Amino acid sequence: MNVAVAARRYQAKKLAIGLLVGLGALASVVLVGARLGSDPRVGPEPQKSGRPAPDFTLSMSTGETVSLADFRGDPLWLTFWTTWCPPCRTEMPDLQDTYQTSPPGRYQYLAVNFGEDPTRVGAFLREIGYTLPVAIDPSGDVALDYRVLGLPTHILVDTEGTVRRVYVGVLTRSQMEEWVNELW
């Protein structure tokens, strides 16, 4: 009988531990969701055309500082990306080539890396030979302000600072050329 009682206690103990672990996991999900839900920049709605582009000030991979105001009067193409994003890496050579072959002064381009250590980003850029202008948003705050929900995210900002177009995903070379023509 002691064996049967011990077996039931063991089963009850396992069940209690399992319930506690499950409740702990549920509490974690609820707390994280509550934190994200309290940030008005996070939500199911992506950045939309026609809205003012959120202002930002970021450090460039070269060490300089850049802000949205620096681009006023020029069309701006923003690309939000990360080094660990395979689709971002896939389109980088075409972005580089499109930028380099576009007529000078047609538009400004800024690749915004977010959520990563600037040292890692710099090493990655040197490794692949990427020479486009890159700003670094290590906290991810600018990406939140722009409501980036997927990678890569491309945003066109007009000369007045209004978002004109948003695209989430890899752009083909022909789509990139279409964007350049739209910017002019």
**Residue percentage of the chain with pLDDT more than 70:** 77
**What fold, for 57-183?**
Glutaredoxin (3.40.30)
The bridge status of strand 76-81 relative to strand 108-114 is parallel
Least confident of 27-36, 39-48, 66-75, 137-146: 27-36
- The whole-angstrom separation of Cα 103 and Cα 107 is 9
Q: Which amino acid is at 63?
A: G
75 upstream amide cis, omega within 30 of 0: no
At 183, is the pLDDT very low, low, confident or very high (cuts 50, 70, 90)? confident
Q: For residue range 83-110, what is the model confidence (pLDDT) as tens digits?
A: 999 999 999 999 999 999 988 888 999 9
Q: Which two tokens stand for residue 179?
A: 């964007």
- Pick 26 or 92 by higher pLDDT: 92
> What pLDDT is stored for residue 31 in this prediction?
36
